[in-house]
Each structure stands twice: as structure tokens, then as C-alpha cells.
């Protein structure tokens, strides 16, 4: 998907870029001007600097000819890449590790930094997307024009595109930031993944306030241990990367970060057994909203978020404290989102009720970690008069160690479990389902545990089993609009399919609850 870019760019002289970033230059830079930076040869535009990086399967330099045909005026690569493109007809900038400096190069080319704009970054295993949406909603309620980048979408004002990666590659991210500046955005909120930090996708960005939500089992296919995973996350909280931080200390990783952090920080918690600067109290839960109070020694703000879940209230509260830490007066924040106003936020595919006013409640969610399953199921149980019927699958080619735990948590906390396919990718779907089934049956041998490989049929099976007062919880697909199997992306929108299936079953599907 082509990146969002500013509509106009005067560019920068390649000679200046070479002097500032290159260790060696092959060819004559002359008067060449660079107007953009691109990592994918498919998305190169005339005037671009093509970044040819080493990859897991092949070197990006093998695509240099495609980039040149598309209009690349120079290439940034490493020694191995320079050997592959030894006869390139354009200047080649050579550095030991081009990925490490790519963000700085892109920031320079796009002039993406803006000292007048507030920049927020959020990391954690679960809740990053929700916190970013809450940040944007709070800031907009105060009166700012905002931009955001999440797993679900990139958005500048009312302009939206679907996301690819949780955090885009550095050239795409800096182009997006430059476009946000061009559009007059006064605040920018970014979801920052662990991979983005270890792969330098956010290099070249200085954050005003960063937030840590939590750390739990995920991505252990990318990181050998929890220590490695934590170290990746903690890179966002270093001097020179961010000015201030808000850290949730509900888990031991947050406590550890708060103890070791070297930038000014404040803490937030729901747990009563930990010391924190801010606390969150849940005042009420329903399918329509969660009401909460966030307070410190001398500040108290009551608000609500139009989503179910105590963990969603914590996400919203963390966003509130991040806004206050950025310099806004608590009274101004309270005037914008306090009391009956609440936080006017829509978070695509996060505990999203897609059923109508009559019949079972059907909830679609993006959760795909054990902790996300547990938190969502416990919240649903508190407001469900009947049974919980859960539909879920697991990613192929991803962290296999969590599959048994996903099955076990689902079997323990739901009344009926239906295991289906999610994104098998290159794996045998039956093998993935078998691991989930083993975890579920092991945790609850006498449980009602079923297998239906086809997601559309699994949805309809769940509806056929449900009665008024029951909840169907479909975990995994959330906002996504495809399924990935055997190298192909198959169109599939879970929310649309659920509404269609409910209609087929005779339920009126109108406005969401």
C-alpha cells in the first residue's frame, strides 16, 4: 500500500544527505535532489532515495532495477548491497547498517519533526491501539487537530487509510508525520511495537510523552525471552527518545520499568498493593460504557469510555494522565471529557458490539494474547446474565508457545468454545487448531469444546447455540478485513459477516449497542 506523503516537497540535495549520513559514496552526487525515501521498490516515486536493506530471505538490493525504473535517483545500502548493484547508474550511499540511520535520513528528507506539535508514543503488549485512540479523542475534545497511527489505521483529521504494520517502517512513518504537519495537526499519537523499537522504525522521532501499558506473553517468536521482549519495549523510555513517561505498574514489568527509568515519569495503577502516583477506580460497567475515576493526591476526574472493560478504563485513564503530563491543565481535561460527556472515542474492533437491540449480544475483538483473552472474558462475565460462547483461532507462523494457553483460558472462562481458523499463513491450519484444542481440553476435559475450521460457519454455529441473555465473543479478527492463508489474503470482514449471519438467523441488526 503506497504511503501517505506530503503533497509538496522541495527536497534536499543528495550531496548534503551524503555528507551527513554516508560512510562512502559510489558515483557522482552532482546536483541531484532527493524528495522522498522509500523502502519498497513497488512504492518508489520519481526523486526518491531507495533504501536497499538486507532482509530475512534476500537483500533489498536485488530490487534496485525496479526502483530505478520507478524513478529512484539514488540508493542507500550496505556493503553487501553495494556489491549487488556495483554498476548502478545512480549514486550509491554506503553505510554499515542502513536500517539504523534510515529514520534519521527520512526525518531529514521530509522535515518531519515539528517542535510546535505534541508527539505521544504508546507501547505495551495489550491496549496500545485503544490508548492511542483515547489520546486523540481527548485532545480533539480539548480542541486540537490530531493525527494517529495504530494497528488499525493511520488518520489525519478525517482522512483515514488502513494500516499494514502496527508501526510503519521509518520512511512511511516520517512521510506520514510530514503530511500531518502539512495538514496542521497539533498533536500526533503513535502506537509503538517492540519490533519497531528493535528495527529502528521510530528512529529520528523525539516523543514529548510516552506510555507503558503492560507486558505479557506475545511475540516470543521474535524475542527469545521475556527479558529480551522487555528490553525492546524499554528502549522507548530512554533519554533522547522521550521527554516524559507514564508507566502503568499493574504488572511486575511496569514496576521494574518505573524503578529503572531515567526520564521524568509518573505511575498509574488499579492494584491496591502497589504504590502509584495515579489510581483508577471502576464506577460502573455495561456493554455500552465503562465509568471510572482517575485520581491523584489533589486531582480527581470522573469520565467514561463507550466500551466495556475495566482494562479499557485503565487504557483511557492512562491516556488522560499522558495528556496532563504533556502540559494541559487537569481542569481543562475534565471540562472536555469529564462527567456525562465522557471520552468520545470509537475504537475499531476492540470489544465492539455488532449485534442489534434484540437477541444475544455479539462482540468482536482483536485480542490474540492470553492476557487479552482473560481480561475480555472476565469483563464480559460481569455483565452477562447467560452463557459466554467464544469463537477464536490463532496466528500461523507466529508465537506457537502461547497456543495451549489461549485454549486453556478460553475453556476455563467461557461456557462454550468454538475453535476456528484465524491467519494460518503458511502453516497447516489443522495443526494450529490441534494445539488450541489440546490446551482447551487439558484445562476442561468435560467442557463444551468444538472445532469448526471455517470462520463463517463457526460464527453461524455460535449464533445457532445462543439464546437471549447469552454473549458470543469472537476474538482475533477485530478490525481486519482479510484472512491470510497459504500465501494469499482472502477478503473477510468479521464484523460484516457477523451482521449478515445475525440477519440470516432472523435478528434485526441496527445500531450498535
316-364 pLDDT tens trace: 999 999 999 999 999 999 999 999 999 999 999 999 999 999 999 999 9
Q: What is the pTM of this model?
A: 0.93
Please check the confidence at residue 440 and state whether its pLDDT lies above 50: yes
113: three-class secondary structure by DSSP: coil
Phi first, then psi, for residue 365 (nearest 5°) are: -140, 155
Please check the confidence at residue 1 and state whether its pLDDT lies above 80: no
Please check the confidence at residue 512 and state whether its pLDDT lies above 70: no
pLDDT confidence tier of residue 7, bands split at 50, 70 and 90: confident
Kindly state whether residue 380 falls inside one of the protein's structural domains: yes
Kindly state whether residue 7 falls inside one of the protein's structural domains: no
Across the chain, mean pLDDT equals 93
What would the mean pLDDT of 254-281 be, rounded to a whole number? Answer: 96
What would the mean pLDDT of 380-396 be, rounded to a whole number? Answer: 96
Percent of the chain with pLDDT over 90: 84
365 contacts 373 by C-beta, under 8 angstroms: no
Please check the confidence at residue 219 and state whether its pLDDT lies above 60: no
Please check the confidence at residue 165 and state whether its pLDDT lies above 70: no
* Whether 216 and 80 share a structural domain: no
Kindly state whether residue 19 falls inside one of the protein's structural domains: yes
Kindly state whether residue 347 falls inside one of the protein's structural domains: no
Q: Domain span at residue 403?
A: 352-504
* Whether 278 and 375 share a structural domain: no
Please choose, from the candidates 144, 245, 509, the residue with its C-alpha nearest in 3D space to the C-alpha of residue 353.
509
CB neighbours of residue 186 within 10 Å:
18
What would the mean pLDDT of 25-30 be, rounded to a whole number? Answer: 96
CB neighbours of residue 445 within 10 Å:
9
Please check the confidence at residue 216 and state whether its pLDDT lies above 80: yes
pLDDT confidence tier of residue 376, bands split at 50, 70 and 90: very high
* Whether 159 and 277 share a structural domain: yes
**Side-chain-facing half-sphere of 334: CA atoms under 13 Å:** 12
Task: Report which of residues 319 and 230 the model is more confident about.
Answer: 319
Kindly state whether residue 165 falls inside one of the protein's structural domains: yes
| Strand pairing class (118-123; 12-13) | unpaired
91 contacts 32 by C-beta, under 8 angstroms: yes
* Whether 320 and 390 share a structural domain: no
DSSP 68-95: HHHT--EEEE-HHHHHHTTT-SS-EEE-
Please check the confidence at residue 308 and state whether its pLDDT lies above 80: yes
Please check the confidence at residue 3 and state whether its pLDDT lies above 90: no
DSSP H or E stretch at residue 242: strand 242-248
* Whether 38 and 21 share a structural domain: yes
DSSP 321-378: HHHHHTT--HHHHHHHH-TTS------TTSSEE-S-SSSSEEEEE---SHHHHHHHHH
pLDDT confidence tier of residue 513, bands split at 50, 70 and 90: very low
* Whether 364 and 493 share a structural domain: yes
CA distance 307 to 289: 5
CA distance 304 to 288: 10
CB neighbours of residue 282 within 10 Å:
17
CATH number at residue 86: 3.40.1390.10
Please check the confidence at residue 448 and state whether its pLDDT lies above 70: yes
Please check the confidence at residue 5 and state whether its pLDDT lies above 90: no
Final residue belonging to a domain, choices 337, 361, 381: 337
Kindly state whether residue 142 falls inside one of the protein's structural domains: yes
* Whether 182 and 296 share a structural domain: yes
Say what the pLDDT of residue 220 is. 57
* Whether 106 and 124 share a structural domain: no
* Whether 77 and 129 share a structural domain: no
pLDDT confidence tier of residue 140, bands split at 50, 70 and 90: very high
281 contacts 292 by C-beta, under 8 angstroms: yes
Kindly state whether residue 53 falls inside one of the protein's structural domains: yes
* Whether 193 and 314 share a structural domain: yes
CA distance 451 to 221: 26
21 contacts 101 by C-beta, under 8 angstroms: yes
Q: List pLDDT tens digits, range 290-303.
A: 999 999 999 999 99
Final residue belonging to a domain, choices 65, 91, 110: 110
Kindly state whether residue 512 falls inside one of the protein's structural domains: no
Q: List pLDDT tens digits, range 391-400.
A: 999 999 888 9
- Could you tell me how far CA 130 lies from the centroid of its own chain? 9
pLDDT confidence tier of residue 162, bands split at 50, 70 and 90: confident
Say what the pLDDT of residue 221 is. 60
Say what the pLDDT of residue 218 is. 59
Which triple of cell numbers denotes residue 279?
489510581
Query: What is the largest distance, in Å, between two alpha-carbon atoms of the chain?
Result: 75
Distances from the Cα of 513 to the Cα of 159, 359, 447, 479, 510, angstroms:
26, 12, 30, 17, 9
Is the C-alpha dihedral spanning 409, 372, 195, 483 positive or negative? Answer: positive
* Whether 277 and 372 share a structural domain: no
* Whether 122 and 100 share a structural domain: no
CATH number at residue 122: 3.40.1190.10
Final residue belonging to a domain, choices 89, 110, 131: 110
Q: List pLDDT tens digits, range 43-57.
A: 999 999 999 999 988
Please choose, from the candidates 462, 379, 387, the residue with its C-alpha nearest in 3D space to the C-alpha of residue 419.
462
Residue written as cell 489533589?
298
52 contacts 60 by C-beta, under 8 angstroms: yes
The total number of structural domains in the chain stands at 3
Amino acid at each position: 500500500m503506497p504511503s501517505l506523503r506530503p503533497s509538496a516537497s522541495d527536497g534536499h540535495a543528495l550531496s548534503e544527505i551524503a555528507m551527513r549520513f554516508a560512510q562512502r559514496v559510489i558515483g557522482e552526487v552532482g546536483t541531484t535532489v532527493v524528495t522522498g525515501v522509500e523502502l519498497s521498490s513497488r512504492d518508489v516515486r520519481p526523486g526518491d532515495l531507495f533504501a536497499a536493506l538486507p532482509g530475512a530471505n534476500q537483500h533489498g538490493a536485488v530490487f534496485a532495477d525496479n526502483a530505478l525504473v520507478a524513478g529512484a535517483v539514488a540508493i542507500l545500502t550496505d556493503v553487501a548491497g553495494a556489491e549487488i548493484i556495483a554498476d548502478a547508474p545512480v549514486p550509491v550511499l554506503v553505510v554499515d547498517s542502513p536500517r539504523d540511520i534510515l529514520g534519521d535520513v527520512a526525518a531529514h528528507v521530509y522535515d518531519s519533526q515539528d517542535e510546535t506539535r505534541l508527539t505521544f508514543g504508546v507501547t505495551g503488549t495489550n491496549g496500545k491501539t485503544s490508548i492511542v485512540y483515547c489520546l486523540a479523542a481527548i485532545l480533539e475534545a480539548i480542541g486540537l487537530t490530531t493525527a494517529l497511527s495504530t494497528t488499525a489505521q493511520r488518520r489525519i483529521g478525517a482522512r483515514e487509510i488502513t494500516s499494514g504494520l502496527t508501526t510503519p517502517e521509518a520512511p512511511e512513518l516520517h512521510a506520514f508525520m510530514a503530511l500531518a504537519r502539512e495538514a496542521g495537526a497539533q498533536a500526533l499519537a503513535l502506537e509503538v511495537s517492540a519490533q519497531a523499537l528493535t528495527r529502528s522504525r521510530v528512529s529520528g522521532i523525539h516523543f514529548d510523552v510516552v506510555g507503558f501499558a503492560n507486558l505479557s506473553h506475545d511475540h516470543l517468536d521474535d524475542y527469545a525471552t521475556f527479558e529480551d521482549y522487555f528490553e525492546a519495549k524499554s528502549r522507548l523510555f530512554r533519554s533522547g527518545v522521550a521527554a516524559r513517561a507514564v508507566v502503568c505498574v499493574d504488572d511486575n514489568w511496569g514496576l521494574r520499568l518505573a524503578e529503572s527509568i531515567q526520564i521524568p515519569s509518573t505511575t498509574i495503577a488499579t492494584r491496591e498493593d502497589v504504590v502509584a502516583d495515579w489510581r483508577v477506580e471502576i464506577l460502573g460497567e455495561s456493554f455500552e460504557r465503562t465509568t471510572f475515576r482517575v485520581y491523584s493526591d489533589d486531582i480527581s476526574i470522573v469520565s467514561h469510555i463507550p466500551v466495556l472493560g475495566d482494562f479499557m478504563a485503565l487504557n483511557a485513564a492512562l491516556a488522560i494522565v499522558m495528556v496532563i503530563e504533556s502540559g494541559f491543565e487537569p481542569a481543562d481535561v475534565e471540562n472536555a471529557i469529564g462527567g456525562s460527556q465522557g471520552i468520545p472515542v470509537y475504537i475499531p474492533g476492540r470489544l465492539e458490539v455488532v449485534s442489534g437491540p434484540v437477541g444475544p449480544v455479539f462482540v468482536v475483538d482483536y485480542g490474540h494474547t492470553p492476557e487479552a483473552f482473560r481480561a475480555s472474558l472476565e469483563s464480559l462475565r460481569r455483565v452477562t446474565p447467560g452463557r459466554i460462547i467464544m469463537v477464536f483461532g490463532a496466528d500461523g507462523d507466529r508465537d506457537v508457545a502461547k497456543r495451549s494457553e489461549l485454549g486453556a483460558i478460553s475453556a476455563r472462562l467461557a461456557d462454550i468454545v468454538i475453535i476456528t481458523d484465524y491467519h494460518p499463513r503458511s502453516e497447516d491450519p489443522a495443526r494450529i487448531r490441534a494445539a488450541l484444542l489440546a490446551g482447551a481440553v487439558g484445562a476442561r476435559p468435560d467442557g463444551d469444546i468444538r472445532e469448526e475450521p471455517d470462520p463463517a460457519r463457526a460464527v453461524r454455529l455460535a449464533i445457532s447455540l445462543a439464546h437471549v441473555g447469552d454473549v458470543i465473543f469472537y476474538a482475533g479478527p477485530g478490525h481486519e478485513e482479510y484472512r491470510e492463508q497459504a500465501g494469499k489474503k482472502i477478503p473477510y470482514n468479521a464484523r460484516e459477516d457477523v451482521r449478515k449471519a445475525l440477519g440470516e438467523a432472523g435478528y434485526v441488526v441496527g445500531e450498535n449497542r
